[in-house]
Structure 1
Amino acid sequence: MSTAPRWTSTHAGSTPTELHQGALLATALEYANRGWHVFPLIPGSKRPATPRHAAADCDHRDPWCRNGHTGWEQRATTNPDRITRAWTTAPYGIGIACGPSGLLVIDTDTPKPGAALPAVELRGEATSGEGVLIALAEDCGEPDGLPETWTVETPSGGVHRYFTTAHLTESLGNSAGRLGPWIDTRGAGGYVVAPPTVTGAGRYLVGLDTQPEPLPAWLVQRLTTRPATPVGPREPRPVTHHSAYLRSVLSKEAQHVREAAEGGRNHALFIAACCLGELVAGGSLTEAEASGVLLDACAGHIAAGAFTEAEAWQTIRSGFRRGAAKPRTAA
C-alpha cells in the first residue's frame, strides 16, 4: 500500500478550488500507484470527461480513435505523466476502471424516499442494500459478514466495497440486482467514482482505508450462478433451451435497453419490460429470467447515474404489470 500522504500535492494552490484540484491530482496518482487505472470525470459529474462522443458517432478524428473507437475504459491509465497532464488542466473527478484495475466493487445503496420496497427473500427485514448484504452473508453461512476491505462512502448514503479479482480464472462484469435489491456490482466494463470527487449530490469519502481483500468465494458463486427457477405448476424451460425466436426477443430487448440514449433510458427499460411481461404472463418466461436479462442490460445506465438499481426494479415491475394485460406465448 502506498505510504504517500493523501489529499496533498505540490501542484495545489492557495484557493479552495486549487487545493481541491491538487488533492484530486495527488489522489489520482496514489490510485495509479496501487495499480488502479484512472480516468477523468466531468467536474461536478459522474460522467467520463472523454471521449466526448458515443461509439455510434465516432468519426475517427479523435487521435485516440484513429484505429477504432476508444472509450473511457481503454483510456484509463496508471501512467503518472498522463495523469498529471490531465488533472493539472481542470479539477476533474476521478473514475476508476474496475476491469483493468483487477477490481470488483460491490455498491450498496438506500431506497429513495417514497420508493416501493421490493420483496427480499432473505432472513430478517432488509430495507437497504447494506441490510440485504448482511442477510445474504448470513444465508450463505457467513455470519461474520464481509471481510474488512477498502471502502468508500457515497453521497447518497451508499457504500462501495473494493475487492480484488486476481485469484479468479474468469472476469466478472457488472450486475444490477443479482445479489439482491439495492446492490449493484462493477467489474469489467464498469467504473466507480472515487474520493475525493465531488458531484452535485456531494463528496465521495474514504470509509475504511485498508488493502482491498480478494472477493470471497461465496460472492463469486453468487455472481457466476443464476438462481434456480422456482418450481411451479407451469415450470418453463431454462432460457438456454428456449426457441430461437424467444432467444431473439430476449436479445433484442436487452440490446434496446443497453443502447438507449440519455433521456430515454428509463422509457426503453419500461417498454422492454412490457414486451417481456407479455411472455411472462403467457408462461413462456419466468419473471426471474426476464428481470435478470433486463437488469443486466441496464447495468451500464445505473453506473452512469441514469437511475438507481431500486428505480430499475420498480420500472421493470411496472412493465411486467402492463404486459400482463396482453399475455402471449412463444414457441
Structure 2
Amino acid sequence: MPHGTPQQPSRPAHSTALAQALAAAGKDLPVIPLSRTKLPAVRSPHRDEPPARRRCRGECGRLGHGVHDATTEPEVIHALFAAAPWATGYGIACGRPPYHLIGIDLDVKHGQDGITGFAELADDHGFILPGTVTVLTPSGGQHRWFSGPADAHIPNSVGKLHPGIDVRGSGGYLVGPGSLTTAGRYLLDPNSPSLPAAHVPSQLLQLLTPPKPHPPRTPSAAIGTSGKRATALVQFVLDSVPNGKHGTGRNDRLYWAACRAYETGGPDAENIAAALVQAAIHKGLPAAEARATVDSAARNTPRSKA
C-alpha cells in the first residue's frame, strides 16, 4: 500500500497508537505515526512535485518527511497523528540521542531463522549477546535494541549481516511495541529489560560499521620507484596552478618535468612519466591532454647514452 494511503481508520487503534507514541516520547524516544503497512503514515507534501523537491528532509517546515519528522515533542506528535487518522502504530527513530539506538531485526519467515543466526554470529565472532530491550514481532521474530556510540553511523541493511537479520541504524526506524499492523501487533517481550538498551558489543559494532575508505593515494605515492629526483618532479607538477605564474601552468610544468624524466633514459623514466600524468590529472588537467603532453616530451627529449 502506498505511503500513508487513507483507510477507514480504527479510531480506538489510532488513539491507542497515539497514546503509546506519547509514552515512548516521554522516554526520550523520537517517534512518528505508522500505517498498518509499517510505512510512515503522513503523506509527503512533495509527492506531486519535481524529484528535486522530493529530497527535502523537512527543511520546508511541513509534515510528511518520514523518519525525519520523528520527535519527542508532544504537540508535534499530536499534529502528526492528526494528519494521519488512519495510523495504527508508531515508529521509533534509530541513531538519535540520547540512546543512539541500533535495531537488530531477527526474522523467522521465508525459511530463515534470524534468532538462531544471531546466536551463531555471536558465537562465531566471540561475543556474548547481552539481555536488552526486545520486541516480539507478529511473525514470531524479534527486534533487539542496542545503544550505540554517539559518533557511529550504522547503515541500514537487509540480510547483509546474516540471512534473516536486518539492521536498523541511522535514518531507519523500528516499529514501536503495541503497534497494530496488517500482520498483527508488535509486543514488548514480557521478560524484556527496560530502557536504556544494552550497549552494543564491540565485536558486533565492528560488523555493523562499514570499513573506513582508504585515503586516495596522491600521485607521488604511486610512482613505483624511489629517489628524491622522481619525487621532486611529481611534486613540481602537483604544485602547479591552472594559469600558473609567469606563463607557467599545469601543461608547461608537466612538459618540463617529463623532459627531465626522459633525459636520463633510465629504466624508471616510464614509471616517473606515468606518475607525472596522474599528478597532472590530480590537478585537473584532462587525461588525454596530460598523456599527449608526456608523449610529446618523450619524442622531443634527447636521451642520455649513459
Same fold by TM-score greater than 0.5: yes
Matched, 1:148 2:131: yes
Deviations 1:158-180 (A, max 9, x none): 11011112x35322121222321
2-structure distance, mates of 1:216, 1:204: 25
Question: Are the counterparts in 2 of residues 39 and 76 from structure 1 also a CA contact under 8 Å?
Answer: yes
Question: Are the counterparts in 1 of residues 63 and 69 from structure 2 also a CA contact under 8 Å?
Answer: no
Match for residue 93 of structure 2 among 92, 97, 100: 97
Q: CA deviation at 1:19?
A: 3.8
Question: Are the counterparts in 1 of residues 91 and 176 from structure 2 also a CA contact under 8 Å?
Answer: yes
2-structure distance, mates of 1:135, 1:59: 44
Counterpart residue number, 1:294: none
2-structure distance, mates of 1:141, 1:169: 24
Match for residue 191 of structure 1 among 173, 179, 183: 173
Question: Are the counterparts in 2 of residues 178 and 223 from structure 1 also a CA contact under 8 Å?
Answer: no
> Quick one: structure 1 residues 199 and 139, their matched pair in 2 at CA, closer, same or farther if it must change by over 3 Å?
same
Counterpart residue number, 1:181: 163
Q: CA deviation at 1:195?
A: 2.1
Counterpart residue number, 1:283: none
The amino acid that maps onto 1:132 is G
Counterpart residue number, 1:36: 29
Q: CA deviation at 1:191?
A: 1.3
SS in 2 for 1:220: helix
Q: CA deviation at 1:32?
A: 0.8
Deviations 1:241-282 (A, max 9, x none): 9xxxxxxxxxxxxxxxxxxxxxxxxxxxxxxxxxxxxxxxxx
RMSD: 3.3
The amino acid that maps onto 1:86 is L
> Quick one: structure 1 residues 73 and 19, their matched pair in 2 at CA, closer, same or farther if it must change by over 3 Å?
closer
2-structure distance, mates of 1:219, 1:160: 16
Question: Are the counterparts in 1 of residues 94 and 101 from structure 2 also a CA contact under 8 Å?
Answer: yes
Q: CA deviation at 1:185?
A: 0.6
Counterpart residue number, 2:122: 137
Matched, 1:82 2:64: no
Question: Are the counterparts in 2 of residues 196 and 203 from structure 1 also a CA contact under 8 Å?
Answer: yes
Question: Are the counterparts in 2 of residues 36 and 78 from structure 1 also a CA contact under 8 Å?
Answer: yes
Larger Rg: 2
2-structure distance, mates of 1:181, 1:80: 38
Q: CA deviation at 1:109?
A: 0.5
Aligned residues: 197
- Aligned identity (percent) is 37
TM superposition score normalised by structure 2: 0.56
Counterpart residue number, 2:194: 210
The amino acid that maps onto 2:95 is G
Question: Are the counterparts in 2 of residues 24 and 91 from structure 1 also a CA contact under 8 Å?
Answer: no
Counterpart residue number, 2:37: 45
